Amino acid sequence: MIRSNYPDPREPVVMDAFTAGWTLAPCSLRDVQGIPHALRAPKARAVTLYELRGGTDAFAAVKLYARYYAEELDCDLPRVPAADAPRDGLYHWLWVMPSRDEGFRALGAAQFRVRTDVIGVDFFVQMELCYLHPCARHRGIFSLSWPRFIRRLQRIHVPEPTMALKISLYGKPTVTLGTDEEHQVRCYTEQPECRFHGGLMQQSSPSLWQCWGKGEDGNVCKESWTARANLRNAKEQ
């Protein structure tokens, strides 16, 4: 069984072609309004990441996956606005792939919120929701999407990441924002920032970034940032 319309209060069960097991069907969409980013990789299977710009069906799918996210992780339900509601400071993304009949299948959703309420930090973007349907996991979809997220949002804070997120984000550049230890926020960035000059470091090897900026005294800054050396550190964070 595959549902032909969305939203539908029933939860149809379908055969997962990847695992040959029975699972809940990804919800279906008639169309998607947004900016598409194709994820070109063998295991991504023609998946496209959309930065949403509207669409009742698409936001209903985000709300559905927010509920799944809260139930699976036993956490508070992320607040997802309606498609026609103001979304100042909110970014919504949807992973989709073409349906066998028509329209699309929504494979997952993500929501980010701009925060300016932390003392001593001008702004950062917090990940509030990131959910992939079980059919779409372990395909490298999130890892392929991360460069799009970080390029668009610049500073992303991931509160209480799951082990899957820790592994996916292992070795990614980070920066600690704020001078007050009580209100410091650790964010992922496209490039780490020098804690002395505030400028972006330059990558000199796959795991090493260096500043090389000149200070007021004319001396070259030798500050560097090194990716963590082993996966055990990722589990302990």
CATH number for the domain including 161? 3.40.630.30
* Per-residue model confidence (pLDDT) at position 6: 38
Say whether both 82 and 41 belong to one domain: yes
Same domain, 59 and 160: yes
Q: Is 34 left (phi over 0), alpha (psi -120 to 50) or beta?
A: left
Per the structure, the count of domains in the chain is 2
The edge-to-edge listing of strands for the beta sheet with 202-205 is 202-205, 208-210, 224-226
pTM, to two decimals: 0.77
Nearest 10 degrees: Cα torsion 172, 177, 180, 181? -10
Question: Residue 41: its pLDDT value, please?
Answer: 67
- The residue segments making up the domain with residue 89 are 13-173
The answer to the question of residue 25 being in a domain is: yes
pLDDT at 88 over 70: yes
Predicted pLDDT at 213: 79
29: part of which helix (H) or strand (E)? Answer: strand 28-29
pLDDT exceeds 90 at position 91: yes
Distance (Å, whole) CA 135 – CA 26: 8
